[in-house]
Chains A and B, each alone.
Chain A
């Protein structure tokens, strides 16, 4: 009789305690470990780099375990349209998850355009930050070429020189708005100084409110976790995660970017390989080779 009672008690405990606990443990296992995703941009922003970033941003938006994203930059910027493409996607991500920027080497021009669309910016003391503005090559004065037939005076040249110049100023205005919206009251300098096109050291950028704090990538990761209210998180390079999910070895993948001009000897120059309008820091203007 005692044995029967004992078994009944065990059965009750198993049914009402152990089993729910087991089920609870199983259910708890379904709660994902939070991920702080890192997106690296160590190149100019061209269509290739922009597509790459957008894929990673979308991955971060779609995957709930990615609770925050760190953008690690060493980029001189790039084309206007590719920068804008990333900027819009970044806005989607920021609406859902915190984004923190770590300026490793440089976040200039277009890269700073993107940085402005973040919750917090870390820069190293000697990182190069800023260069807010637009740069471009004016099209040549239109002329007619005997063997080229087109259907309008600017079919070949794109635009009159003067309207191209005025358009550049319009793009600058958008850049300024992006900086204002992103940095808001944190900015401690006036419009003229912001738009002077200067590139500042991390130290100066922090003083001016162009960046928030001096620090590196791990500081950015901690800040992202703090803003996302997560702990015991893991850090994932989202680019590697995506390639691995596609079965591609990320360490054998070679960039196809042809953004910068290359010499016949293969050396990369700081000038874009195509004429156009850029959000780009070109350190040696106007000395074009």
Chain B
């Protein structure tokens, strides 16, 4: 009896507790163990190995002026390209900046390479033609673009900012060389230098520019394409273009034109510190510096006054030309004019065996200048005309003949005119720094040098006009 009372009491006590508990709680929620990332094991991504040996590479035997464009809203500072300019200087090259677009033609006459960095303004057709002629003569063109160098403009009406990359402006020039810069950026989420936009290139074309390079790292790079040229840098399959998030094996980080004279790169950042020392970038920059200076520049009279390999030349007066007051005055003028262009003229008493020379002679002088005339097939028979093969006969009076002969030891510029007086006028044309008054044909040119002393001696006087009295008067309307 007592036992059952206890059981009743216990049941009475537990019943409300159980009822409330069951009303609210339907079981026990077992919790899983919660893991957090292994923060302590995380490490900063190491930089790709540097290639310090490449930095010491130096070849001081190369010379030339490398012209950097600053006339197309170029988005760079000199310090950003210092790794390249220093490599150029280490080879004996010099760097000049083009700040006035009207002097492009003039400066391309002597530049070895023309470098365009991240342009924001397009190239005009005339500029492109000049640069095409420049590369056709063996000049080197380098175009650096960069996916991080865009311009932001606000829409005039809506005020909404719009982004313009440097690719369209670069393409106004590069299309002429069958290279195009894609308006994208490359990225790689797997194979990169610490960040998805820092792309590593491991596949290289067979070209001097990438000789000795095993890996290059670009930092925010456009992709480039070419159909006739060569893609120099190609990346892993995991590298994608931001345009469509796909891998494009037909595009890469750098392209070389079919003639080997135009190089375009999708990145600029790899030139600046510390990125210039990542992976094999230092070696790549050295190779690019070589590329700027080692082009086989074919000089013609179109390059006048920069027709000499070195900025110095010796003037020689053939035996039929004397140092008259007029000749001395004209030569002095020419010396000053050439000096202004950085070319030192000196006078010598014989034709130099090596080095650059300017020879002044008349058409009558034959023995000394005969060897120089032969390659041009110029015939001087003492008559009123001289004849040039593939050009025709030219009247000797008031004309100047300019012949440029190139050799490994130096270039020779031969200037022939009918008389000393004509030569003086001819030197004046040369001193003007322009051959606009001349008909140029590769390495020879014929110039109008005004009226020579003998001019008109064998010519008939201009006939007086004869009035025909039988002619009808202008009919009256």
List the interface of chain A (C-beta within 8 A of B). 12, 15-21, 23-25, 27-29, 31, 33-34, 67-68, 87-88, 91, 94-98, 117, 160-163, 165-170, 173-174, 177-178, 181, 191-192, 195-196, 227-233, 286-287
Contact of A91 with B16 in the complex, beta carbons under 8 Å: no
Q: Which residue of A lies closest to B154 (CB)?
A: A287
**Interface residue? B124 (CB, 8 A):** no
**Closest 6 A/B residue pairs (Cβ):** A177-B37, A20-B13, A229-B27, A20-B12, A24-B13, A28-B20
Contact of A21 with B33 in the complex, beta carbons under 8 Å: no
**Interface residue? B329 (CB, 8 A):** no
Residues B7-25 near A (CB distance < 8 A): 8-17, 19-21, 23-25
Q: Which residue of B lies closest to A21 (CB)?
A: B12
Beyond A169-B195, A287-B161, whether A178 also contacts B189 by CB under 8 A is: no
Contact of A191 with B47 in the complex, beta carbons under 8 Å: no
Q: Which residue of B lies closest to A160 (CB)?
A: B274
Q: Which residues of the partner chain B approach A230 to less than 8 Å between Cβ atoms?
A: 24-26
Q: Which residues of the partner chain A approach B274 to less than 8 Å between Cβ atoms?
A: 160-162
Given A169-B45, A181-B36, 14 further pairs, Cβ under 8 A: A21-B13, A27-B13, A27-B16, A28-B16, A88-B36, A94-B31, A97-B31, A162-B47, A165-B195, A167-B44, A170-B44, A174-B39, A178-B36, A230-B24
Cα A286 to Cα B162 with chains together (Å): 10
- Contact partner of B190 among A28, A192, A228, CB < 8 A? A192
**Interface residue? B38 (CB, 8 A):** yes
- Contact partner of A95 among B10, B14, B33, B46, CB < 8 A? B33
Contact of B12 with A24 in the complex, beta carbons under 8 Å: yes
Closest beta carbon of chain A to B82's beta carbon, Å: 13
- Contact partner of B15 among A19, A24, A97, A192, CB < 8 A? A24
**Interface residue? B34 (CB, 8 A):** yes
Cα A52 to Cα B190 with chains together (Å): 37
Q: Which residues of the partner chain B approach A162 to less than 8 Å between Cβ atoms?
A: 47, 274-275
Contact of A181 with B37 in the complex, beta carbons under 8 Å: yes
Cα A173 to Cα B42 with chains together (Å): 8
List the interface of chain B (C-beta within 8 A of A). 5-6, 8-17, 19-21, 23-29, 31, 33-39, 42-47, 152, 161, 163, 189-190, 194-196, 198, 238, 245, 274-275
Cα A79 to Cα B195 with chains together (Å): 19
Closest beta carbon of chain A to B252's beta carbon, Å: 21
Cα A178 to Cα B8 with chains together (Å): 55
Q: Which residue of B lies closest to A18 (CB)?
A: B12
- Contact partner of B43 among A15, A23, A170, A192, CB < 8 A? A170
Cα A84 to Cα B190 with chains together (Å): 25
Contact of A166 with B37 in the complex, beta carbons under 8 Å: no
- Contact partner of B13 among A23, A29, A173, CB < 8 A? A23
- Contact partner of B44 among A94, A166, A228, CB < 8 A? A166
Cα A167 to Cα B42 with chains together (Å): 10
Q: Which residues of the partner chain A approach B27 to less than 8 Å between Cβ atoms?
A: 229
Beyond A20-B9, A174-B37, whether A227 also contacts B29 by CB under 8 A is: yes
Cα A88 to Cα B39 with chains together (Å): 12
Q: Which residues of the partner chain B approach A21 to less than 8 Å between Cβ atoms?
A: 12-13, 15-16
Closest beta carbon of chain B to A224's beta carbon, Å: 10
Contact of B9 with A16 in the complex, beta carbons under 8 Å: yes
Of B6, B17, B25, B37, most buried by chain A (CB within 10 Å of CB) is: B37
Q: Which residues of the partner chain B approach A67 to less than 8 Å between Cβ atoms?
A: 29
Q: Which residue of A lies closest to B30 (CB)?
A: A229
Q: Which residues of the partner chain A approach B10 to less than 8 Å between Cβ atoms?
A: 20
Q: Which residues of the partner chain B approach A12 to less than 8 Å between Cβ atoms?
A: 5
11 A–B pairs (Cβ distance < 8 Å), ordered by A: A17-B12, A27-B17, A28-B16, A28-B17, A91-B36, A95-B31, A95-B33, A98-B29, A117-B36, A196-B189, A196-B245
Q: Which residues of the partner chain B approach A88 to less than 8 Å between Cβ atoms?
A: 36
Q: Which residues of the partner chain B approach A27 to less than 8 Å between Cβ atoms?
A: 13, 16-17
Contact of A24 with B23 in the complex, beta carbons under 8 Å: no
Closest beta carbon of chain A to B39's beta carbon, Å: 6
Cα A5 to Cα B34 with chains together (Å): 64
Contact of B195 with A168 in the complex, beta carbons under 8 Å: yes
Contact of B152 with A287 in the complex, beta carbons under 8 Å: yes
Contact of B194 with A166 in the complex, beta carbons under 8 Å: yes
Q: Which residue of A lies closest to B273 (CB)?
A: A141
Contact of A177 with B38 in the complex, beta carbons under 8 Å: yes
Contact of B34 with A91 in the complex, beta carbons under 8 Å: yes
